[in-house]
Each structure stands twice: as C-alpha cells, then as structure tokens.
Structure 1
Amino acid sequence: MIKKISMTVLALFLLLPSWSQAGSFGKGDPSGVPGQWYVGTTPSYVAPSKHPILFVHGLNSSSNTWWNENNMYDTAYQNGYETAFIDLYPTKNMWDNGALLSQKIRDIYNYYGEKVVVVAHSKGGIDTQSALVHYGAYPYVARVITLSTPHYGSQLADLAYSSWAGWLTGILGSKNDATYSLQTGYMSYFRSETDPHPNVNRNPIYTFGGTKWGSFGSSLYWGGLYLRAYGSNDGAVTVSSSRLPYGTELRVGDWNHFTIKEGSSTFNLFKNYLNEATNTSEFNAQSVVESNDAENAASFVRGGEFNGKKQEKVVVEEEAQSVTFDWISNSPSSQLILKDPGQKANFIFKVKKDESEYFNGAYHHTVTVQDPTPGEWTIEASSSSAEKYLLNVSFESSMNDALSIHVAQDEFSLKAKDSQLRFKTVMTIEYYKDGKLKKSKVKTKNDSLKLPKLGEGVYNVTIDIEGSKDKNTIQRTFIKTIYVDDSGKIYGQ
C-alpha cells in the first residue's frame, strides 16, 4: 500500500528546489527528520473536488503515526484522496514547529497546485494554528480538522512540571519545550496571542474530542483518572480543551487519545469536510456538546527519589467509595507493598508501561481498592538501585467537591464549600530563570498565596492540603500553572 513516488515526480524534485525536501515511502518508515515531508500513493481516481490531505502528528510522535498500527492513511487512499505527511520537531514548542510547518505547507501547496486540508492530531493542531495565524500559511490551507488537540493545554503537562513529578519526568526526558508550552498557563497566553489575531478567521477549524480512556491498566487509564477532576477526557486531553469557541465541533465520541486518530474511527465523520464544496457557513458556530468543566479535588500526589526503601502514607477519608494508588516509576521491577490501616497487605499491583505523551517510558504500578477502610494507608517500596517515582492517589469521594482553588490576578485562594471543614496548606512554587529551575515553599496568609514578582515565565504551583471535619481527615493536591509575560501580565485560570 505504501509506495515510492514515481521517477517522474522524483525528477521534478531535482528540478524544483521548492520540492526538494519531499521524501518517498521506502520499505521502512521515514526517518522522522524534522521538515521532511512525504507524498502518499496517488489513488487510481481522484475527483477534482477533493482537496489533498496533509496529516500532522502530535507530541513525541512522527509521521508514521498515521499508518503504523493505524489505518488512517489506507482509509484516505481507499476513499480516493491524495495525501501528504510531515515530520515536525517532536519535542519543540508551537513557535518552532509553526515556523517550520509554514514553510513546508507552501511547498506542499506548490506540489499539488491547490490548497490542502490539514488533519492534525493532538499538539499538531496547535502547531498548525501557529503556522497559519502567526507564520502566514493560511492562503495555502482550505480548512483544519483537529483530533483531540489540547487548545487550552493539558493538566498532565502541569503535572509533569510540578514539584512532586519533576524527579521522574526529568529522567524520562518528558521535560522539553513542547511539554513546557502545553502547560495550561502558557496555553492561556498562546490563546491570548492567537484568538484576537486578524488571521485567526481565515481558515475554518473543525474539532473532535474523546471521552474514553481505556480499561484498568491500559496505557491511558491513569491519565484519564487524573484528568477526571477536570471533566470528560480521552486519557490525555479534556473535552473542554479540545474545543475552540470559534471552531465547529463535529463530534465528541467514545475514543481515547490514540483511537481518535484511526481511520476507522473518525475518517467518515470528517470526510465531507475534505471537499471543495464543503459549506463553511457554520464556521463560527459554538460547540453544542456540553461537558463537566468543573475542577474538583480528586488527587493526592507525592514524588521523589530513593535508593533502597521508601515509605509513603496516605489518609483515606470515610466518604471514599474507592481509591486508586498509582506508583509511577522509572523502574519496572519496583517491589511494592500496600497496607491498609489494619496493616493487611493482600493487594496486588498491576504493572503497565506508559506509552502516552507526557510520561512515556515510565512504569505504572496500579491497584484500585473498593470501599476502602478509612484511615492511614501505607505504601512500602524497595528497589535495588536508585529510583525516581511519582505517587498519584485518585479518590472517588463526595469530599472531592469540598475544596476548590481560585486564581485572581496574582493570588491563589483556597475555598471550602463546607463551613465545618478546617484545613491547612503547603504551597510550593516552581519556575525557570536563566534556564535553571527555582523552587521555594511560599507562606500562605488567610489560605491565600500571593505570587512573588519573579518576572516572565511559567509558574507551576503545587498546593498540598490536609483538612479535617468531625475528626475525619482528608488529603489532596492541587497543581496549577500561570504565565507571566514580560510586562507582568498574568495568564491562566
């Protein structure tokens, strides 16, 4: 099915420098060199009304994501569409990728002699919008279709840069320009630069979102569990983040972050938007499928490094219907023992390697306990070598709605819905200055945190809470990010 470009086309590449960066499919996959683009086999019949499709990959990915264990390319071919695929920088931000993609879109436009429709997965949609709006590629694109693009960032990127997760994500290589830019605070800044731009309305955008994150132990399960506090999600991106107020939402369905980009899942749903005759009069329509966007306090987070033995204690409140312990480590052979308040230890952890975007290569050691005994639970870990870990404890409990964080200008404030709930907080702020990570614990006053004036950058705030009501203790962690520009203006929610 994957064929080389004809010798005639190859000869044209030699004659026309603007096409010289195009490659051809060989026996193996493309090399993944940023800026290299590829042309799919031309179908036997291509209707004049069909736009060519340019497929753009997402974070930590490459062009082969569209055909390796994915029938998207084959589905497009069988439906008579010409296709092109591009490799961008897998770990760079939307500015670097937007500039690169803008140049290559022009080349692809010249190759086909007509506008293309961009189909982008995940961060590829942000890179695409950057290319169109900020780097002038809009004349060469008919419209854009985004598949689970985090238009407002992902709270998993916030987690990756948090004070508790930094030990693990540092060794995994998850800390990079791309992940940094996907923090919700920075994406709020990107939206402020993009949405009012005069070029933003030149290309209609159509969006898809997913609500499924797989069964227990699957690669996206833990991400979905963490994001559950922020609304419906596909294991990596929330439905609310997949939307744009000036875009047209085509569908929210039961796809996870991987299946949403498969041809058998979504191609027939956006096929009618690949043609020249597509009616774009509904371009400015608002999204019509509502989701729960309210954030609640559903997680307790810890992390660090150890060599030998480590113990973590977690308080489970009486109201908890279930609790999931997820020990995320750089080692698959972590020896873990979970003990309930009565010191019983008959719990079995399921081990799964992470293949998602933000903690790729880590190992999840996960167990869910239904109707857990209230009180102090203990995880005992042992390792024969140095180990970095992140412990995420997810609660299903009525107490999840008892606390909330509010951000107003340069202040974070903690609110309790129940007047009888008493709590204490520890807030940690992390930021980068001159390329170095700075971290400090910040004193709170009246359950509020006033941000210090630290200049331009992303501020990642970890807020650990211990509350009590009627001698019943709860523990939770909030992780929030904001972006401060060079004039001191703050972006984020």
Structure 2
Amino acid sequence: MSTFPASAFHRLTGLQSLPQPDVIPTRLPVVMMHGFGIGGSLRRGGHLHEQAMYLRMRGVRAYAPNVSPYNTVRARSQTWKRHIEHVLHETGAEAITIIAHSMGGLDARFLISQMGLHNCIAALVTVATPHRGSELANLVLKQPDSVRSWMADVADWLGTHIIENGSANSLQTVRELTPSFMQHSFNPNVPDHPNVRYWSYAGQAGRDTEVPLTPLLRYFNAYLYQREGCNDGFVSVDSAKWGTFKGVLDADHIRQVGMDAGFGGADFDANAFYANVAQDLANEGL
C-alpha cells in the first residue's frame, strides 16, 4: 500500500470529527424584530431572515417575521403581536425573548408596556434603537413640502405593496422618531416593565471612529455627528443606550443586519454577533 502521509490525506479531505456548529442552548424562542424601511429586505426574506436561519442552525428556535416597514409603532405592533402569538402557539413556549434592530426596539417596548406582552416577553435586546429619537427625522421634516410629500408618497406605496395586507403612514412615523416626540411623549408613556430584562447595543462608524462607513450613509453620518455625536449613520450612540448597556458595535446601521450594499470594506460579522447575543441569553437561562 502507498505510504501517502495521513496528515496530507486529512488536509485533502478536510473531514472533521464534529463538523456541525455548536448548539446555543436558549430555553426560550427568539423573535427578531426589524426596523424602519425596506433596504434590508431587498432580495432577502427580510432584514433579519438570514440571521434567524443562522441561529436555527445552532439550535435556537429563531423567528424573523416581517411587518409593514413604513408604519407607526402602534400600527406595526398590532402585527407583531399576531406574529408573537403564532410563535408561542407553534413552539408551545410560555415566553419568548426579543432581539430588535432599530425601530423594532420601539415596537417591542410598546408591546411590553402598552399591549400587555410583559407576561410573555422575558427579555428585550435592542440594537441601534433610537430610544431618544434621531435628528435625521427632523431633517426629513424640514424639507420643502413638495419634496417631503414626494418622499412620503413613494415610501407609502412601497410599504403598502412590499408585504401582504401592507399599510403605511411614513410621514407620521417620521414625526414620531424625532427627539422631541421620543423624549416628551413616547418615553414617558412607554415605561419599562420591572419583570422584563432590557439590554441594549449601539453602533458606530464614520466620523470620530476608524470604522468604515457605507458611502450611502456619509451625509447622514456627518449631519447626525454635528448634532448628536458618534453614530452609525442613522442612530447615535447616546440615543441607543437603554437598560443594561452591553457595548458599541463597530458597524454602521446597514451592516448591523448583514448588508454591505456591495461596498465591502468592513470587518463585521452580523451572524456571529447575533449568535453571541443568543449565547448571552442562554447563559442567563433565557
């Protein structure tokens, strides 16, 4: 028989004794909630669909439903509630945890505080959620009436047609994302529930960092930096802090959901990040 080295044969086949990824032993199902807009949905199952499938390969009962992307927190929350009820029924679980990106975190807070879901949501992890609003909302509202109306018409048409039974109210949604509305209306009326754990992450890129920024966000990043400081192109670090603050991600708002818009240049693995969050939940017995 040939004396072909065993080590060389192993390198050729690449066969591992345990090739499957480690299981993440979360006790509860995880619902991933997306934010405002359709950018993360193009040619995908949704903003966080890929990340949910990645978690499923690691044993997590992960779901990433979709709701109308250009509607208000109150309107979106009605659909989220139905999705959560479906998850609870399908899994037989008594509760879930939520990982929410951007505006999805506001939806989740509303569900917990105003719709009675504190009984079935054990923890909420928000990622780059504008808990104190974003000055970019004011930027949109300051545009000339004709420009603002055109933008709203386009967003409302997209929001209505991109999803079955879709609806939209983009201009009102933008009004409700302003710092003034968030800090003087939403936050006072949507308090945290003592039975729910709240964790948060912020994102940073561009100005005042060494993190590459998707070029499409360059103007927004600079505009927001002048008014709120370090940010991810849509949400400032300060605005994203809520509950137990877990840290800052070196990734802009788009890359946080696994997109690079074809520009590359960033070293951020969205799948690995959400897997780490799930592992943290498992470590807490959730």
Indicate whether the TM-score tops 0.5.
yes
Letter in 1 for 2:197: P
The ranges of structure 1 where at least 4 consecutive aligned residues each deviate by more than 6 angstroms after the TM superposition are 43-48
Q: What is the distance in 1 between the residues matched to 2:186 and 2:234?
A: 19
Q: Which residue of 2 aligns with 1:50?
A: 27
SS, match of residue 240 in structure 2 = coil
Q: CA RMSD in A?
A: 2.6
Q: What is the distance in 2 between the residues matched to 1:86 and 1:97?
A: 12
| 1:97–1:217 distance in 2 versus 1, CA, 3 Å | closer
Q: Are 2:219 and 1:237 equivalent residues in the alignment?
A: no
| Map 1:361-372 → 2, pairs under 5 A | none
Letter in 2 for 1:212: A
CA contact (8 A) 1:105 1:137 kept: no
Q: What is the distance in 1 between the residues matched to 2:21 and 2:256?
A: 28
Q: Are 2:249 and 1:270 equivalent residues in the alignment?
A: no
Letter in 1 for 2:247: R
Q: What is the distance in 2 between the residues matched to 1:155 and 1:49?
A: 37
Q: Which residue of 1 aligns with 2:80?
A: 101
Pick 1 or 2: higher relative contact order, CA cutoff 8 A, min separation 6.
Answer: 2
- The structure whose residues are more often strand, as a share, is 1
SS, match of residue 55 in structure 1 = strand
Q: 1:194 Cα deviation (Å)? A: 1.2
CA contact (8 A) 2:205 2:213 kept: no
Q: Which of 138, 148, 157 is equivalent to 1:158?
A: 138
Q: Which residue of 1 aligns with 2:188?
A: 192
Q: What is the distance in 1 between the residues matched to 2:89 and 2:75?
A: 22
Q: 1:146 Cα deviation (Å)? A: 1.0
CA contact (8 A) 2:134 2:236 kept: yes
Q: What is the distance in 2 between the residues matched to 1:90 and 1:192?
A: 25
CA contact (8 A) 1:93 1:178 kept: yes
Q: 1:170 Cα deviation (Å)? A: 2.1
Q: Which of 142, 145, 151 is equivalent to 1:172?
A: 151
| Map 1:209-228 → 2, pairs under 5 A | 209-213=202-206, 218-228=215-225
Q: What is the distance in 2 between the residues matched to 1:49 and 1:264?
A: 16
Q: What runs of 5+ residues in structure 1 fail to find an aligned partner?
A: 1-42, 281-493
Q: Which residue of 2 aligns with 1:401?
A: none
Q: Which residue of 2 aligns with 1:66?
A: 48
CA contact (8 A) 1:259 1:265 kept: no
| 1:44–1:113 distance in 2 versus 1, CA, 3 Å | farther
Q: Which residue of 2 aligns with 1:476?
A: none
Q: Are 2:246 and 1:250 equivalent residues in the alignment?
A: yes
Q: Which of 171, 176, 181 is equivalent to 2:176?
A: 181
- Bigger Rg, which one: 1
| Map 1:131-146 → 2, pairs under 5 A | 131-146=111-126
Identity %: 21
CA contact (8 A) 1:250 1:270 kept: no
Q: Which residue of 1 aligns with 2:66?
A: 87
Q: Which residue of 1 aligns with 2:96?
A: 116
Q: 1:50 Cα deviation (Å)? A: 3.3
| 1:101–1:217 distance in 2 versus 1, CA, 3 Å | closer
Q: 1:278 Cα deviation (Å)? A: 0.3
Q: 1:113 Cα deviation (Å)? A: 1.4
Which deviations, in whole Å up to 9, do the C-alpha atoms of 1:405-448 show, x marking residues without a partner? xxxxxxxxxxxxxxxxxxxxxxxxxxxxxxxxxxxxxxxxxxxx
- The structure whose residues are more often helix, as a share, is 2
Q: What is the distance in 1 between the residues matched to 2:250 and 2:22?
A: 33
Which deviations, in whole Å up to 9, do the C-alpha atoms of 1:66-119 show, x marking residues without a partner? 24xxx4234312322112122222111111122332233223112211122111
Letter in 2 for 1:200: H
Q: What runs of 5+ residues in structure 2 fail to find an aligned partner?
A: 1-19, 156-169, 259-269
Q: What is the distance in 1 between the residues matched to 2:213 and 2:26?
A: 45
| Map 1:426-465 → 2, pairs under 5 A | none
Q: What is the distance in 2 between the residues matched to 1:169 and 1:48?
A: 47
- The two structures have a TM-score, normalised by structure 2, of 0.71
Q: 1:126 Cα deviation (Å)? A: 0.3
